[in-house]
Amino acid sequence: MKSVCCGLAALAMLLTGVGQARAGFINGGFETGNLAGWSAAGDASVQGTIFGIAPDQGSFQGLVTNLPPGIPYSGVNSVSAAALNAFLGASLPANSNGPATEGSAIKQTITLNAGDTISFRYNYLTDESVNSGYDYGFVTINGAVTTLADSHSAFVSAVSDGQGNFPRQTGYQTFTFTAANSGSFTIGVGTVDTGDSVVSSGILVDNFNAPSATPEPASLALLGLGALSMVGYSWRKGMKGAVPVGV
Protein backbone atom coordinates (compact mmCIF):
# COMPACT_ATOMS: atom_id res chain seq x y z
CA MET A 1 0.00 0.00 0.00
CA LYS A 2 2.88 2.32 0.79
CA SER A 3 4.26 1.85 -2.72
CA VAL A 4 0.85 2.64 -4.23
CA CYS A 5 0.51 5.84 -2.21
CA CYS A 6 4.02 6.91 -3.13
CA GLY A 7 3.32 6.13 -6.76
CA LEU A 8 0.12 8.16 -6.80
CA ALA A 9 1.91 11.06 -5.17
CA ALA A 10 4.61 10.82 -7.82
CA LEU A 11 1.94 10.80 -10.50
CA ALA A 12 0.35 13.95 -9.11
CA MET A 13 3.74 15.65 -8.97
CA LEU A 14 4.50 14.57 -12.53
CA LEU A 15 1.25 15.91 -13.96
CA THR A 16 1.65 19.16 -12.04
CA GLY A 17 5.21 19.53 -13.23
CA VAL A 18 4.29 18.86 -16.85
CA GLY A 19 2.01 21.87 -16.96
CA GLN A 20 4.75 24.04 -15.51
CA ALA A 21 7.86 22.75 -17.28
CA ARG A 22 6.28 22.38 -20.69
CA ALA A 23 4.74 25.86 -20.48
CA GLY A 24 1.68 24.89 -22.48
CA PHE A 25 3.50 23.48 -25.50
CA ILE A 26 4.76 19.93 -25.59
CA ASN A 27 8.31 19.87 -26.96
CA GLY A 28 8.13 23.59 -27.67
CA GLY A 29 11.90 23.79 -28.13
CA PHE A 30 12.19 20.51 -30.11
CA GLU A 31 14.78 19.32 -27.59
CA THR A 32 13.59 15.73 -27.98
CA GLY A 33 15.34 15.87 -31.36
CA ASN A 34 12.08 15.04 -33.14
CA LEU A 35 8.53 16.33 -33.64
CA ALA A 36 7.07 14.63 -30.55
CA GLY A 37 3.94 16.53 -29.50
CA TRP A 38 3.46 18.06 -32.95
CA SER A 39 1.42 17.08 -36.00
CA ALA A 40 2.94 17.71 -39.42
CA ALA A 41 1.87 17.95 -43.04
CA GLY A 42 4.55 17.93 -45.73
CA ASP A 43 8.25 18.57 -45.19
CA ALA A 44 8.78 19.17 -41.47
CA SER A 45 11.84 18.05 -39.53
CA VAL A 46 13.98 18.86 -36.51
CA GLN A 47 17.53 20.08 -37.10
CA GLY A 48 20.54 21.25 -35.15
CA THR A 49 22.58 24.08 -36.62
CA ILE A 50 21.73 24.25 -40.34
CA PHE A 51 22.54 26.76 -43.11
CA GLY A 52 24.97 28.21 -40.59
CA ILE A 53 22.01 29.08 -38.34
CA ALA A 54 22.11 27.87 -34.73
CA PRO A 55 18.88 27.09 -32.81
CA ASP A 56 17.40 30.10 -31.07
CA GLN A 57 17.87 28.18 -27.83
CA GLY A 58 19.03 24.69 -26.90
CA SER A 59 20.36 22.18 -29.41
CA PHE A 60 17.48 21.80 -31.87
CA GLN A 61 15.04 23.81 -33.99
CA GLY A 62 12.14 22.94 -36.27
CA LEU A 63 12.46 23.29 -40.05
CA VAL A 64 9.44 23.47 -42.38
CA THR A 65 9.92 23.88 -46.16
CA ASN A 66 8.00 23.87 -49.43
CA LEU A 67 10.82 22.14 -51.32
CA PRO A 68 9.81 20.21 -54.45
CA PRO A 69 9.72 16.37 -54.54
CA GLY A 70 13.01 14.56 -54.23
CA ILE A 71 14.89 16.88 -51.87
CA PRO A 72 12.78 17.50 -48.72
CA TYR A 73 14.74 17.38 -45.49
CA SER A 74 12.23 15.11 -43.75
CA GLY A 75 11.88 12.69 -46.67
CA VAL A 76 8.22 13.74 -46.98
CA ASN A 77 7.16 15.93 -49.90
CA SER A 78 5.24 19.18 -49.60
CA VAL A 79 1.47 18.83 -49.83
CA SER A 80 -1.07 20.67 -51.94
CA ALA A 81 -2.58 23.91 -50.72
CA ALA A 82 -5.93 22.12 -50.41
CA ALA A 83 -4.38 19.47 -48.16
CA LEU A 84 -2.60 22.14 -46.13
CA ASN A 85 -5.82 24.09 -45.67
CA ALA A 86 -7.59 20.94 -44.50
CA PHE A 87 -4.74 20.17 -42.07
CA LEU A 88 -4.80 23.67 -40.58
CA GLY A 89 -8.54 24.35 -40.85
CA ALA A 90 -7.55 27.49 -42.75
CA SER A 91 -7.79 29.21 -46.12
CA LEU A 92 -4.28 30.26 -47.10
CA PRO A 93 -4.60 33.49 -49.09
CA ALA A 94 -3.30 34.29 -52.55
CA ASN A 95 -0.82 37.12 -53.03
CA SER A 96 0.12 39.31 -55.97
CA ASN A 97 1.53 36.34 -57.90
CA GLY A 98 -1.41 34.02 -57.47
CA PRO A 99 -2.93 31.45 -55.15
CA ALA A 100 -1.14 29.17 -52.73
CA THR A 101 -0.04 26.02 -54.54
CA GLU A 102 1.85 23.76 -52.11
CA GLY A 103 3.57 23.88 -48.77
CA SER A 104 4.13 22.33 -45.36
CA ALA A 105 3.23 23.07 -41.75
CA ILE A 106 3.29 21.84 -38.16
CA LYS A 107 0.61 22.37 -35.54
CA GLN A 108 -0.21 21.80 -31.88
CA THR A 109 -3.29 22.50 -29.76
CA ILE A 110 -3.09 24.04 -26.28
CA THR A 111 -5.60 25.46 -23.82
CA LEU A 112 -5.47 29.15 -22.97
CA ASN A 113 -7.34 31.42 -20.60
CA ALA A 114 -8.38 34.91 -21.64
CA GLY A 115 -5.33 37.14 -21.34
CA ASP A 116 -2.77 34.33 -21.76
CA THR A 117 0.02 35.17 -24.18
CA ILE A 118 1.96 32.74 -26.36
CA SER A 119 5.17 33.44 -28.22
CA PHE A 120 7.61 31.68 -30.50
CA ARG A 121 10.68 32.48 -32.55
CA TYR A 122 10.90 32.11 -36.32
CA ASN A 123 13.45 32.67 -39.09
CA TYR A 124 12.09 32.81 -42.64
CA LEU A 125 14.39 31.46 -45.36
CA THR A 126 13.97 31.79 -49.10
CA ASP A 127 15.48 31.24 -52.51
CA GLU A 128 13.03 33.74 -54.03
CA SER A 129 14.34 37.01 -55.43
CA VAL A 130 13.98 39.98 -53.11
CA ASN A 131 10.62 41.73 -53.58
CA SER A 132 9.49 39.12 -56.12
CA GLY A 133 6.21 38.62 -54.25
CA TYR A 134 6.37 34.82 -54.30
CA ASP A 135 6.03 32.55 -51.24
CA TYR A 136 5.40 33.42 -47.62
CA GLY A 137 5.77 32.02 -44.13
CA PHE A 138 2.70 32.07 -41.92
CA VAL A 139 1.12 31.28 -38.58
CA THR A 140 -2.47 30.10 -38.14
CA ILE A 141 -4.42 30.35 -34.90
CA ASN A 142 -7.65 28.38 -35.02
CA GLY A 143 -7.54 28.78 -38.80
CA ALA A 144 -6.93 32.56 -38.89
CA VAL A 145 -3.86 33.22 -41.07
CA THR A 146 -1.17 35.81 -40.35
CA THR A 147 1.79 36.27 -42.71
CA LEU A 148 5.08 36.18 -40.83
CA ALA A 149 7.43 37.03 -43.73
CA ASP A 150 7.69 37.01 -47.51
CA SER A 151 10.05 38.18 -50.25
CA HIS A 152 9.45 41.82 -49.25
CA SER A 153 10.92 41.21 -45.78
CA ALA A 154 14.33 42.51 -44.74
CA PHE A 155 16.93 39.80 -45.30
CA VAL A 156 20.48 38.98 -44.32
CA SER A 157 22.65 36.34 -45.96
CA ALA A 158 22.35 32.67 -45.07
CA VAL A 159 24.52 29.72 -46.05
CA SER A 160 23.04 27.84 -49.00
CA ASP A 161 22.45 24.11 -48.54
CA GLY A 162 24.42 23.40 -51.74
CA GLN A 163 21.27 22.98 -53.79
CA GLY A 164 20.74 26.70 -54.23
CA ASN A 165 18.14 26.82 -51.49
CA PHE A 166 17.72 29.52 -48.87
CA PRO A 167 20.54 32.02 -49.44
CA ARG A 168 18.46 34.66 -47.62
CA GLN A 169 17.10 34.71 -44.08
CA THR A 170 15.26 37.23 -41.92
CA GLY A 171 17.12 36.16 -38.79
CA TYR A 172 15.16 35.00 -35.77
CA GLN A 173 12.10 37.15 -35.02
CA THR A 174 9.43 36.92 -32.30
CA PHE A 175 5.72 36.31 -32.81
CA THR A 176 3.29 36.86 -29.93
CA PHE A 177 -0.44 36.34 -29.51
CA THR A 178 -2.74 37.13 -26.58
CA ALA A 179 -5.96 35.15 -26.21
CA ALA A 180 -9.09 37.29 -26.01
CA ASN A 181 -11.12 34.39 -24.66
CA SER A 182 -10.59 31.05 -22.95
CA GLY A 183 -10.55 27.79 -24.88
CA SER A 184 -8.52 25.50 -27.12
CA PHE A 185 -6.19 27.11 -29.63
CA THR A 186 -4.55 25.26 -32.50
CA ILE A 187 -1.29 26.95 -33.47
CA GLY A 188 0.08 26.16 -36.92
CA VAL A 189 3.27 27.42 -38.58
CA GLY A 190 4.46 26.81 -42.11
CA THR A 191 5.48 28.08 -45.51
CA VAL A 192 3.72 28.00 -48.85
CA ASP A 193 4.49 28.48 -52.55
CA THR A 194 2.29 30.95 -54.45
CA GLY A 195 1.83 31.22 -58.18
CA ASP A 196 4.19 28.32 -58.90
CA SER A 197 5.76 25.25 -57.33
CA VAL A 198 9.34 25.89 -58.43
CA VAL A 199 11.42 28.22 -56.26
CA SER A 200 11.33 27.32 -52.58
CA SER A 201 11.26 28.77 -49.09
CA GLY A 202 11.46 27.48 -45.53
CA ILE A 203 10.96 28.57 -41.96
CA LEU A 204 12.94 27.71 -38.85
CA VAL A 205 10.97 27.78 -35.59
CA ASP A 206 11.97 27.45 -31.94
CA ASN A 207 11.08 28.31 -28.34
CA PHE A 208 7.28 28.02 -28.39
CA ASN A 209 6.18 29.34 -25.02
CA ALA A 210 2.89 29.90 -23.21
CA PRO A 211 3.70 30.54 -19.54
CA SER A 212 0.13 30.31 -18.18
CA ALA A 213 -1.19 27.60 -20.48
CA THR A 214 -1.52 23.84 -20.16
CA PRO A 215 -1.18 21.06 -22.74
CA GLU A 216 -4.37 19.51 -24.09
CA PRO A 217 -5.83 16.69 -21.92
CA ALA A 218 -5.07 14.08 -24.58
CA SER A 219 -1.36 14.80 -24.31
CA LEU A 220 -1.46 14.74 -20.52
CA ALA A 221 -3.42 11.48 -20.61
CA LEU A 222 -0.62 9.75 -22.50
CA LEU A 223 1.89 10.88 -19.91
CA GLY A 224 -0.50 9.88 -17.11
CA LEU A 225 -0.96 6.37 -18.48
CA GLY A 226 2.79 5.92 -18.48
CA ALA A 227 3.00 7.10 -14.89
CA LEU A 228 0.11 4.86 -13.83
CA SER A 229 1.83 1.85 -15.36
CA MET A 230 4.82 2.66 -13.15
CA VAL A 231 2.50 2.79 -10.13
CA GLY A 232 0.99 -0.57 -11.10
CA TYR A 233 4.40 -2.14 -11.47
CA SER A 234 5.45 -0.83 -8.07
CA TRP A 235 2.27 -2.20 -6.45
CA ARG A 236 2.72 -5.66 -8.01
CA LYS A 237 6.33 -5.73 -6.96
CA GLY A 238 5.34 -4.83 -3.37
CA MET A 239 2.60 -7.47 -3.29
CA LYS A 240 5.05 -10.29 -4.08
CA GLY A 241 6.58 -9.96 -0.64
CA ALA A 242 3.36 -9.20 1.23
CA VAL A 243 2.12 -11.50 3.99
CA PRO A 244 -1.67 -12.19 3.85
CA VAL A 245 -3.66 -10.86 6.81
CA GLY A 246 -4.41 -13.53 9.41
CA VAL A 247 -1.47 -15.79 8.56
**Is 161 part of a structural domain of the chain?**
yes
**Is 20 part of a structural domain of the chain?**
yes
Residue (of 96, 89, 88) closest to 191 by Cα position? 88
How does pLDDT run across 184-203, given as a tens digit for each residue? 999 999 999 998 888 899 99
Q: In the structure, what pLDDT confidence band is assigned to residue 216 with cuts at 50, 70 and 90?
A: low
Give the chain's mean pLDDT: 82
Mean pLDDT of 119-125: 97
Q: Has this prediction a pTM greater than 0.85?
A: no
- pLDDT for res 22: 34
Containing structural domain, residue 51: 2-222
The number of folded domains in the chain is: 1
**Is 241 part of a structural domain of the chain?**
no
Q: Where are the beta strands (DSSP E) in 24-151?
A: 39-41, 43-47, 61-65, 79-80, 100-112, 117-126, 136-141, 144-150
Q: What is the CATH number of the domain that holds 212?
A: 2.60.120.260
Instruction: Identify the three-state secondary structure at position 235.
Output: helix
Contact 152, 133 (CB under 8 A): yes
Mean pLDDT of 94-100: 90
